[in-house]
Chain A
Amino acid sequence: MSNIKTYQRPASLEDAWRLLSEEGKTAKLVGGAVDVGLFAPPEVATLIDLSHLLSTSVESRDGGGLVIGAGVTLTELLESPQAQAYGGGILVTMLRQVASPLLRNAATLGGALASTHPWSDVITLLLALDAQVRRYSGHPEEAALETLLESRGTMDRVIISEVSLPRLEERTYIDFEKFVRTGFDVGMLNCACRMSLSDDGCANVRVVLGGTPDIARRSPDVEAAIAGTSLTASDIEKAAAVASESIPARDDVRASGAYRRILAKAGVRRCLQRMAQKAGE
Protein backbone atom coordinates (compact mmCIF):
# COMPACT_ATOMS: atom_id res chain seq x y z
CA MET A 1 0.00 0.00 0.00
CA SER A 2 1.45 3.35 -1.02
CA ASN A 3 1.77 6.15 1.53
CA ILE A 4 2.27 8.81 -1.12
CA LYS A 5 0.53 12.05 -0.17
CA THR A 6 1.76 14.54 -2.76
CA TYR A 7 2.94 14.49 -6.35
CA GLN A 8 4.99 17.55 -7.15
CA ARG A 9 5.90 19.00 -10.53
CA PRO A 10 8.39 21.68 -9.55
CA ALA A 11 8.91 24.60 -11.91
CA SER A 12 12.71 24.41 -11.90
CA LEU A 13 15.63 22.20 -10.93
CA GLU A 14 16.21 24.60 -8.07
CA ASP A 15 12.69 24.01 -6.73
CA ALA A 16 13.07 20.27 -7.20
CA TRP A 17 16.33 20.31 -5.26
CA ARG A 18 14.82 22.44 -2.47
CA LEU A 19 11.91 20.01 -2.07
CA LEU A 20 14.23 17.02 -2.06
CA SER A 21 16.52 18.50 0.55
CA GLU A 22 13.71 19.79 2.76
CA GLU A 23 11.78 16.52 2.75
CA GLY A 24 14.76 14.19 3.01
CA LYS A 25 14.04 10.46 2.84
CA THR A 26 10.28 11.02 2.66
CA ALA A 27 10.71 12.45 -0.85
CA LYS A 28 11.71 10.62 -4.00
CA LEU A 29 12.67 11.88 -7.43
CA VAL A 30 10.72 10.41 -10.34
CA GLY A 31 12.10 9.91 -13.84
CA GLY A 32 10.18 7.31 -15.84
CA ALA A 33 8.83 5.76 -12.61
CA VAL A 34 9.60 2.23 -13.82
CA ASP A 35 11.41 1.61 -10.54
CA VAL A 36 9.81 4.13 -8.19
CA GLY A 37 6.40 2.79 -9.16
CA LEU A 38 7.45 -0.67 -8.00
CA PHE A 39 9.89 -0.12 -5.19
CA ALA A 40 9.08 3.20 -3.45
CA PRO A 41 9.83 2.53 0.24
CA PRO A 42 6.92 2.99 2.69
CA GLU A 43 8.40 6.18 4.19
CA VAL A 44 8.08 7.99 0.85
CA ALA A 45 5.24 10.55 1.01
CA THR A 46 6.27 12.98 -1.73
CA LEU A 47 7.10 12.27 -5.35
CA ILE A 48 9.06 14.90 -7.28
CA ASP A 49 8.52 14.50 -11.02
CA LEU A 50 11.54 15.57 -13.08
CA SER A 51 10.20 14.74 -16.53
CA HIS A 52 9.47 18.31 -17.63
CA LEU A 53 12.74 19.66 -16.15
CA LEU A 54 15.40 17.46 -17.67
CA SER A 55 16.76 17.70 -21.17
CA THR A 56 15.86 14.88 -23.55
CA SER A 57 18.40 15.83 -26.18
CA VAL A 58 21.24 13.68 -27.51
CA GLU A 59 24.00 15.80 -29.03
CA SER A 60 27.39 15.11 -30.54
CA ARG A 61 30.14 17.31 -29.05
CA ASP A 62 33.91 17.73 -29.00
CA GLY A 63 34.39 16.14 -32.37
CA GLY A 64 32.68 12.86 -31.52
CA GLY A 65 31.69 12.83 -27.86
CA LEU A 66 28.07 12.61 -26.80
CA VAL A 67 26.06 14.75 -24.38
CA ILE A 68 22.79 13.15 -23.30
CA GLY A 69 20.01 14.77 -21.28
CA ALA A 70 19.13 12.66 -18.24
CA GLY A 71 15.43 12.87 -19.11
CA VAL A 72 15.88 10.96 -22.36
CA THR A 73 14.06 7.63 -22.38
CA LEU A 74 16.04 4.52 -23.22
CA THR A 75 13.96 4.22 -26.43
CA GLU A 76 14.70 7.81 -27.43
CA LEU A 77 18.39 7.17 -26.85
CA LEU A 78 18.27 3.95 -28.85
CA GLU A 79 16.53 5.70 -31.75
CA SER A 80 18.77 8.76 -31.81
CA PRO A 81 21.10 8.88 -34.86
CA GLN A 82 23.87 10.38 -32.68
CA ALA A 83 23.71 7.47 -30.23
CA GLN A 84 23.53 4.99 -33.10
CA ALA A 85 26.71 6.43 -34.59
CA TYR A 86 28.66 6.50 -31.32
CA GLY A 87 31.27 3.78 -30.77
CA GLY A 88 30.12 1.69 -33.72
CA GLY A 89 26.58 1.46 -32.31
CA ILE A 90 27.54 -0.01 -28.95
CA LEU A 91 24.82 1.94 -27.08
CA VAL A 92 22.18 0.40 -29.32
CA THR A 93 23.63 -3.09 -28.83
CA MET A 94 23.33 -2.67 -25.06
CA LEU A 95 19.99 -0.83 -24.94
CA ARG A 96 18.21 -3.42 -27.07
CA GLN A 97 19.03 -5.92 -24.34
CA VAL A 98 17.49 -3.82 -21.57
CA ALA A 99 14.06 -5.11 -20.55
CA SER A 100 11.30 -4.68 -23.17
CA PRO A 101 10.29 -1.78 -25.45
CA LEU A 102 7.35 -1.12 -23.08
CA LEU A 103 9.79 -0.43 -20.24
CA ARG A 104 12.36 1.36 -22.38
CA ASN A 105 9.61 3.73 -23.58
CA ALA A 106 9.24 4.99 -20.00
CA ALA A 107 12.61 4.46 -18.28
CA THR A 108 14.98 7.43 -18.38
CA LEU A 109 18.76 7.49 -18.50
CA GLY A 110 18.90 9.42 -15.20
CA GLY A 111 16.70 6.80 -13.52
CA ALA A 112 18.72 3.94 -14.99
CA LEU A 113 21.89 5.33 -13.38
CA ALA A 114 20.39 6.52 -10.09
CA SER A 115 18.61 3.23 -9.39
CA THR A 116 22.08 1.60 -9.20
CA HIS A 117 20.81 -1.93 -9.87
CA PRO A 118 23.68 -4.40 -9.55
CA TRP A 119 22.62 -6.03 -12.80
CA SER A 120 22.19 -2.74 -14.69
CA ASP A 121 23.36 -3.04 -18.28
CA VAL A 122 23.40 0.73 -18.66
CA ILE A 123 25.82 1.21 -15.77
CA THR A 124 28.17 -1.55 -16.95
CA LEU A 125 28.59 -0.06 -20.42
CA LEU A 126 28.71 3.58 -19.30
CA LEU A 127 31.38 2.72 -16.75
CA ALA A 128 33.48 1.10 -19.48
CA LEU A 129 32.99 4.24 -21.58
CA ASP A 130 34.13 6.44 -18.67
CA ALA A 131 30.89 8.46 -18.59
CA GLN A 132 30.86 11.81 -16.79
CA VAL A 133 27.71 12.75 -14.92
CA ARG A 134 26.42 16.28 -14.44
CA ARG A 135 24.25 16.73 -11.36
CA TYR A 136 22.39 19.48 -9.56
CA SER A 137 22.50 19.98 -5.81
CA GLY A 138 21.70 23.67 -5.58
CA HIS A 139 24.54 24.21 -8.04
CA PRO A 140 25.81 22.19 -10.99
CA GLU A 141 28.57 19.67 -10.34
CA GLU A 142 30.27 17.09 -12.51
CA ALA A 143 31.94 13.79 -11.64
CA ALA A 144 32.90 10.51 -13.22
CA LEU A 145 30.25 7.79 -12.96
CA GLU A 146 32.98 5.60 -11.50
CA THR A 147 33.48 8.04 -8.60
CA LEU A 148 29.75 8.44 -7.97
CA LEU A 149 29.22 4.70 -7.75
CA GLU A 150 31.59 4.57 -4.79
CA SER A 151 28.77 6.11 -2.73
CA ARG A 152 26.10 4.14 -4.50
CA GLY A 153 23.36 4.58 -1.87
CA THR A 154 23.24 8.32 -2.46
CA MET A 155 23.01 8.35 -6.26
CA ASP A 156 19.30 9.24 -6.16
CA ARG A 157 19.70 12.04 -3.58
CA VAL A 158 21.21 14.48 -6.09
CA ILE A 159 19.52 15.33 -9.40
CA ILE A 160 21.29 13.80 -12.41
CA SER A 161 20.81 16.24 -15.29
CA GLU A 162 23.19 15.15 -18.03
CA VAL A 163 25.59 12.40 -19.02
CA SER A 164 28.54 12.89 -21.33
CA LEU A 165 30.55 10.26 -23.14
CA PRO A 166 34.05 11.04 -24.36
CA ARG A 167 35.18 11.32 -27.92
CA LEU A 168 36.68 7.98 -28.91
CA GLU A 169 40.16 8.08 -30.42
CA GLU A 170 40.79 6.26 -33.68
CA ARG A 171 41.32 2.54 -33.23
CA THR A 172 39.29 2.45 -30.02
CA TYR A 173 37.17 -0.67 -29.68
CA ILE A 174 34.24 -1.34 -27.36
CA ASP A 175 32.12 -4.39 -26.74
CA PHE A 176 29.33 -5.57 -24.45
CA GLU A 177 28.01 -8.99 -23.48
CA LYS A 178 25.02 -9.93 -21.32
CA PHE A 179 23.97 -13.35 -20.11
CA VAL A 180 20.27 -13.92 -19.45
CA ARG A 181 18.03 -16.88 -18.80
CA THR A 182 15.28 -15.47 -21.05
CA GLY A 183 15.38 -12.53 -23.45
CA PHE A 184 13.37 -10.26 -21.14
CA ASP A 185 15.13 -11.14 -17.88
CA VAL A 186 17.69 -9.05 -16.04
CA GLY A 187 21.18 -10.42 -16.51
CA MET A 188 22.98 -13.15 -14.56
CA LEU A 189 26.16 -11.25 -15.44
CA ASN A 190 27.21 -8.60 -17.90
CA CYS A 191 30.52 -7.36 -19.16
CA ALA A 192 31.85 -4.40 -21.16
CA CYS A 193 35.35 -3.76 -22.50
CA ARG A 194 36.94 -0.71 -24.07
CA MET A 195 40.51 -0.20 -25.31
CA SER A 196 42.61 1.38 -27.98
CA LEU A 197 44.95 -0.77 -30.02
CA SER A 198 48.10 0.55 -31.68
CA ASP A 199 51.48 -0.91 -32.72
CA ASP A 200 52.49 -0.61 -29.05
CA GLY A 201 49.63 -2.92 -28.07
CA CYS A 202 46.46 -2.36 -26.05
CA ALA A 203 46.15 0.85 -24.05
CA ASN A 204 43.45 2.80 -22.18
CA VAL A 205 41.91 -0.51 -21.18
CA ARG A 206 38.67 -0.54 -19.20
CA VAL A 207 37.02 -3.85 -18.36
CA VAL A 208 33.80 -3.83 -16.33
CA LEU A 209 31.88 -6.78 -14.94
CA GLY A 210 28.38 -6.31 -13.49
CA GLY A 211 25.78 -8.46 -11.77
CA THR A 212 28.42 -10.59 -10.13
CA PRO A 213 25.87 -10.19 -8.27
CA ASP A 214 27.43 -6.96 -6.96
CA ILE A 215 27.13 -3.72 -8.90
CA ALA A 216 29.35 -3.23 -11.93
CA ARG A 217 33.02 -2.56 -11.19
CA ARG A 218 36.16 -2.24 -13.21
CA SER A 219 38.40 -5.24 -13.03
CA PRO A 220 42.02 -4.02 -12.55
CA ASP A 221 43.39 -7.57 -12.82
CA VAL A 222 41.82 -8.20 -16.22
CA GLU A 223 42.83 -4.73 -17.40
CA ALA A 224 46.44 -5.43 -16.37
CA ALA A 225 46.34 -8.77 -18.16
CA ILE A 226 45.35 -7.05 -21.41
CA ALA A 227 47.35 -3.81 -21.29
CA GLY A 228 50.34 -3.81 -23.64
CA THR A 229 49.39 -7.07 -25.35
CA SER A 230 48.53 -7.34 -29.05
CA LEU A 231 45.31 -9.21 -28.22
CA THR A 232 46.39 -12.55 -29.67
CA ALA A 233 44.31 -15.64 -29.04
CA SER A 234 46.52 -16.60 -26.09
CA ASP A 235 46.38 -13.04 -24.64
CA ILE A 236 42.59 -13.30 -24.78
CA GLU A 237 42.52 -16.71 -23.09
CA LYS A 238 44.79 -15.44 -20.29
CA ALA A 239 42.62 -12.37 -19.70
CA ALA A 240 39.44 -14.49 -19.71
CA ALA A 241 40.98 -16.83 -17.13
CA VAL A 242 41.90 -13.85 -14.94
CA ALA A 243 38.30 -12.61 -15.17
CA SER A 244 37.01 -15.93 -13.96
CA GLU A 245 39.43 -16.05 -11.02
CA SER A 246 39.22 -12.44 -9.93
CA ILE A 247 35.52 -11.49 -9.99
CA PRO A 248 33.77 -11.27 -6.61
CA ALA A 249 31.29 -13.96 -7.67
CA ARG A 250 28.58 -15.12 -5.27
CA ASP A 251 25.39 -17.19 -5.45
CA ASP A 252 22.01 -15.50 -5.69
CA VAL A 253 18.58 -16.29 -7.07
CA ARG A 254 19.76 -15.83 -10.68
CA ALA A 255 22.94 -17.89 -10.77
CA SER A 256 25.54 -19.60 -8.62
CA GLY A 257 28.93 -18.03 -8.00
CA ALA A 258 30.58 -20.95 -9.83
CA TYR A 259 28.42 -20.40 -12.89
CA ARG A 260 29.15 -16.65 -12.79
CA ARG A 261 32.88 -17.43 -12.97
CA ILE A 262 32.26 -19.41 -16.15
CA LEU A 263 30.15 -16.55 -17.53
CA ALA A 264 32.82 -13.96 -16.69
CA LYS A 265 35.36 -16.01 -18.62
CA ALA A 266 33.02 -16.42 -21.60
CA GLY A 267 31.96 -12.74 -21.52
CA VAL A 268 35.48 -11.34 -21.48
CA ARG A 269 36.59 -13.84 -24.11
CA ARG A 270 33.72 -12.98 -26.47
CA CYS A 271 34.18 -9.22 -26.09
CA LEU A 272 37.93 -9.43 -26.68
CA GLN A 273 37.58 -11.81 -29.63
CA ARG A 274 35.13 -9.48 -31.36
CA MET A 275 37.35 -6.48 -30.63
CA ALA A 276 40.44 -8.27 -32.01
CA GLN A 277 38.46 -9.18 -35.11
CA LYS A 278 37.33 -5.57 -35.64
CA ALA A 279 40.91 -4.36 -35.12
CA GLY A 280 42.10 -6.80 -37.80
CA GLU A 281 39.52 -5.68 -40.38
Chain B
Amino acid sequence: MTMTLTINGKKRTLTIDPGEKLLDVLRREGYMGVKKGCGAGDCGACAVLFNGRAVNSCLVFAAKAEGAEILTIEGLATGEVLHPVQEAFLQEGAVQCGYCTPGMVMATIDLLSRNPDPSEPEIREALSGNLCRCTGYVKQVNAVQRAAEWMKGGETRG
Protein backbone atom coordinates (compact mmCIF):
# COMPACT_ATOMS: atom_id res chain seq x y z
CA MET B 1 0.00 0.00 0.00
CA THR B 2 1.10 3.61 -0.39
CA MET B 3 0.91 6.31 2.20
CA THR B 4 1.75 9.98 2.44
CA LEU B 5 3.22 11.57 5.53
CA THR B 6 5.59 14.37 6.45
CA ILE B 7 8.99 13.39 7.79
CA ASN B 8 11.19 16.15 9.19
CA GLY B 9 9.19 18.76 7.30
CA LYS B 10 9.29 16.96 3.93
CA LYS B 11 6.20 15.40 2.41
CA ARG B 12 6.89 11.79 1.43
CA THR B 13 4.85 9.16 -0.35
CA LEU B 14 6.03 5.68 0.60
CA THR B 15 5.18 2.11 -0.32
CA ILE B 16 4.79 0.00 2.81
CA ASP B 17 3.48 -3.37 3.93
CA PRO B 18 0.19 -2.98 5.86
CA GLY B 19 1.63 -4.64 8.97
CA GLU B 20 4.97 -2.81 8.97
CA LYS B 21 6.02 -0.72 11.94
CA LEU B 22 6.94 2.93 11.61
CA LEU B 23 10.42 2.16 13.02
CA ASP B 24 11.23 -0.26 10.21
CA VAL B 25 9.92 2.05 7.50
CA LEU B 26 11.87 5.03 8.85
CA ARG B 27 15.10 3.06 9.03
CA ARG B 28 14.56 1.66 5.53
CA GLU B 29 14.12 5.23 4.30
CA GLY B 30 17.49 6.17 5.81
CA TYR B 31 16.50 7.70 9.15
CA MET B 32 19.02 5.54 10.97
CA GLY B 33 19.02 7.75 14.06
CA VAL B 34 15.77 5.98 14.98
CA LYS B 35 17.18 3.02 16.93
CA LYS B 36 15.76 -0.43 17.51
CA GLY B 37 16.35 -1.73 21.02
CA CYS B 38 13.67 -4.05 22.35
CA GLY B 39 11.01 -3.74 19.64
CA ALA B 40 8.44 -4.08 22.42
CA GLY B 41 7.77 -0.64 23.87
CA ASP B 42 10.16 -1.12 26.77
CA CYS B 43 13.34 0.85 25.96
CA GLY B 44 12.35 4.05 24.11
CA ALA B 45 15.35 3.94 21.73
CA CYS B 46 12.92 4.18 18.81
CA ALA B 47 11.10 7.32 20.01
CA VAL B 48 10.03 9.83 17.37
CA LEU B 49 7.57 12.70 17.53
CA PHE B 50 4.21 11.74 16.01
CA ASN B 51 2.16 14.92 15.54
CA GLY B 52 4.24 16.51 18.29
CA ARG B 53 4.15 13.70 20.85
CA ALA B 54 6.94 11.23 21.52
CA VAL B 55 5.90 7.64 20.81
CA ASN B 56 7.61 4.29 20.46
CA SER B 57 7.87 3.88 16.68
CA CYS B 58 8.43 0.13 17.15
CA LEU B 59 4.77 -0.23 18.23
CA VAL B 60 3.07 2.16 15.81
CA PHE B 61 1.95 0.70 12.51
CA ALA B 62 3.45 2.79 9.72
CA ALA B 63 0.02 2.93 8.07
CA LYS B 64 -1.28 4.77 11.13
CA ALA B 65 1.00 7.67 10.22
CA GLU B 66 -0.99 8.52 7.07
CA GLY B 67 -1.14 12.33 6.96
CA ALA B 68 0.93 12.62 10.16
CA GLU B 69 3.92 14.84 10.90
CA ILE B 70 6.87 12.74 12.00
CA LEU B 71 10.00 14.26 13.51
CA THR B 72 13.13 12.15 13.95
CA ILE B 73 16.50 13.08 15.45
CA GLU B 74 17.73 13.85 11.91
CA GLY B 75 15.23 16.70 11.66
CA LEU B 76 16.50 18.68 14.66
CA ALA B 77 19.76 20.35 13.70
CA THR B 78 19.82 23.36 11.42
CA GLY B 79 22.78 22.72 9.15
CA GLU B 80 25.78 22.34 11.46
CA VAL B 81 23.94 23.94 14.40
CA LEU B 82 22.58 21.39 16.83
CA HIS B 83 19.22 21.75 18.55
CA PRO B 84 19.70 23.02 22.14
CA VAL B 85 18.63 19.64 23.52
CA GLN B 86 21.25 17.84 21.42
CA GLU B 87 23.88 20.40 22.41
CA ALA B 88 22.97 20.10 26.09
CA PHE B 89 23.29 16.30 25.99
CA LEU B 90 26.80 16.71 24.51
CA GLN B 91 27.95 19.43 26.90
CA GLU B 92 26.64 17.62 30.00
CA GLY B 93 28.33 14.35 28.97
CA ALA B 94 24.94 12.63 28.87
CA VAL B 95 26.04 10.46 25.94
CA GLN B 96 28.24 7.39 26.28
CA CYS B 97 27.58 4.74 23.62
CA GLY B 98 24.78 6.98 22.36
CA TYR B 99 22.30 4.23 21.50
CA CYS B 100 19.59 5.60 23.77
CA THR B 101 20.33 9.25 22.99
CA PRO B 102 18.02 9.89 20.01
CA GLY B 103 15.06 8.51 21.96
CA MET B 104 15.98 10.51 25.08
CA VAL B 105 16.34 13.68 23.02
CA MET B 106 12.96 13.21 21.33
CA ALA B 107 11.25 12.52 24.69
CA THR B 108 12.91 15.69 26.05
CA ILE B 109 11.68 17.78 23.14
CA ASP B 110 8.12 16.56 23.76
CA LEU B 111 8.47 17.46 27.47
CA LEU B 112 9.94 20.93 26.93
CA SER B 113 7.39 21.82 24.28
CA ARG B 114 4.66 21.45 26.92
CA ASN B 115 6.53 22.23 30.09
CA PRO B 116 9.39 24.68 29.55
CA ASP B 117 10.44 24.62 33.19
CA PRO B 118 10.16 21.01 34.42
CA SER B 119 11.13 19.95 37.92
CA GLU B 120 13.52 17.03 38.39
CA PRO B 121 10.68 14.56 39.14
CA GLU B 122 8.88 15.76 36.00
CA ILE B 123 12.04 15.20 33.94
CA ARG B 124 12.47 11.73 35.42
CA GLU B 125 8.86 10.87 34.67
CA ALA B 126 9.16 12.15 31.08
CA LEU B 127 12.24 9.98 30.52
CA SER B 128 10.89 6.95 32.37
CA GLY B 129 10.25 5.08 29.11
CA ASN B 130 13.85 5.59 27.91
CA LEU B 131 16.36 3.05 29.16
CA CYS B 132 20.10 3.71 29.19
CA ARG B 133 22.52 0.88 29.86
CA CYS B 134 25.64 3.07 30.10
CA THR B 135 24.96 6.13 32.23
CA GLY B 136 23.41 6.58 35.65
CA TYR B 137 20.36 8.70 34.70
CA VAL B 138 21.99 11.78 36.26
CA LYS B 139 23.67 13.52 33.34
CA GLN B 140 20.59 13.25 31.17
CA VAL B 141 18.57 15.03 33.84
CA ASN B 142 21.26 17.73 34.00
CA ALA B 143 21.15 17.99 30.21
CA VAL B 144 17.39 18.48 30.17
CA GLN B 145 17.70 21.18 32.84
CA ARG B 146 20.41 22.96 30.87
CA ALA B 147 18.42 22.74 27.61
CA ALA B 148 15.37 24.12 29.41
CA GLU B 149 17.41 27.10 30.64
CA TRP B 150 18.76 27.84 27.17
CA MET B 151 15.38 27.47 25.52
CA LYS B 152 13.68 29.70 28.08
CA GLY B 153 16.32 32.33 27.38
CA GLY B 154 15.54 32.04 23.67
CA GLU B 155 18.99 30.67 22.87
CA THR B 156 19.12 28.34 19.91
CA ARG B 157 22.21 26.57 21.28
CA GLY B 158 24.58 26.62 24.23
The residues of B that contact A49 with a CB separation of less than 8 Å are: 61, 63-64
Among B20, B47, B64, the residue within 8 A (CB) of A102 is B47
CB neighbors of A among B109-123 (8 A): 110-111
- Cβ proximity bits A90-132 to B, threshold 8 Å, 1 near / 0 not: 0000001001111101100000000000000000000000000
Chain A, 63-112, CB within 8 A of any chain B CB: 73, 75, 96, 99-103, 105-106
Tell me if A5 is interfacial: C-beta within 8 Å of chain B.
Answer: yes
Across the interface, A184 reaches (CB within 8 A) one of B56, B111, B129, namely B129
Residues on B facing A (Cβ under 8 Å): 1, 17-21, 40-42, 44, 47, 50, 53-56, 58-61, 63-64, 66, 107, 110-111, 125-126, 128-130
Shortest CB distance B60–A (Å):
6
| A-to-B contact residues, CB < 8 Å | 2-7, 9, 30, 33-34, 36-38, 40, 47, 49, 51, 73, 75, 96, 99-103, 105-106, 183-184
Identify which of A37, A99, A100, A184 contacts B60 (C-beta below 8 A): A37
B48 to chain A minimum Cβ distance, whole angstroms, is 10
Closest to B61 in A: A33
Contacts of B129 in A (CB 8 A): 99-103, 184
Task: Say how far B35's CB is from chain A's closest CB, in angstroms.
Answer: 13
Separation of A102 and B110 alpha carbons in the complex (Å): 10
Taking A38-B41, A184-B129 as contacts, is the C-beta distance between A101 and B54 under 8 angstroms?
yes
Q: B110 touching A37 by the CB < 8 A rule?
A: no
- Name the distance in Å between A98's Cβ and chain B's nearest Cβ: 11
Known: A7-B61, A33-B59, A47-B19. A183 touches B128 (CB 8 A): yes
In the complex, the answer to whether B61 meets A30 with C-beta atoms within 8 Å is: yes
B residues less than 8 Å from A75 (CB atoms): 53
**CA of A105 to CA of B130, assembled, Å:** 14
A5 with B18: CB separation less than 8 A: yes
Find chain A residues with CB under 8 A from B111 CB: 101
List chain A residues, Cβ under 8 A from B56: 34, 102-103, 106
Docked Cα-Cα span, A106 to B53, in Å, equals 9
Given the complex of chains A and B, what is the CA–CA distance between A100 and B66 in angstroms? Answer: 24
Given contacts A100-B130, A101-B107, A184-B128, 7 further A-B contacts (CB under 8 A): A4-B18, A5-B18, A47-B61, A49-B63, A51-B64, A75-B53, A106-B60
- Closest Cβ–Cβ distance, residue B132 to chain A (whole Å): 13
Closest residue to B58 on the A side, CB-wise?
Answer: A37
Q: Which residues of chain A are near B54, meaning CB under 8 Å?
A: 101-102, 105
Q: Is the CB of A102 within 8 A of B1?
A: no
6 A-B pairs whose Cβ atoms sit less than 8 Å apart in the complex: A7-B63, A33-B64, A38-B40, A49-B64, A101-B125, A103-B129
Q: Are B40 and A102 in contact (CB under 8 A)?
A: no
Q: What's the least CB distance linking A243 to chain B, in Å?
A: 29
Determine the chain B residues whose CB is within 8 A of the CB of A101 once the complex forms.
54, 107, 110-111, 125-126, 128-129
Given contacts A75-B53, A99-B129, contact A2 B60 (CB under 8 A): no
5 shortest interchain CB distances as A-B pairs: A100-B129, A4-B19, A2-B19, A102-B129, A7-B18
Give the docked Cα–Cα distance between A75 and B53 (Å).
10
Q: From the candidates A3, A7, A37, A73, name the one contacting B59 in the complex (CB within 8 A).
A: A37
Q: Which chain A residues border B61 with CB–CB below 8 Å?
A: 7, 30, 33, 36-37, 47, 49
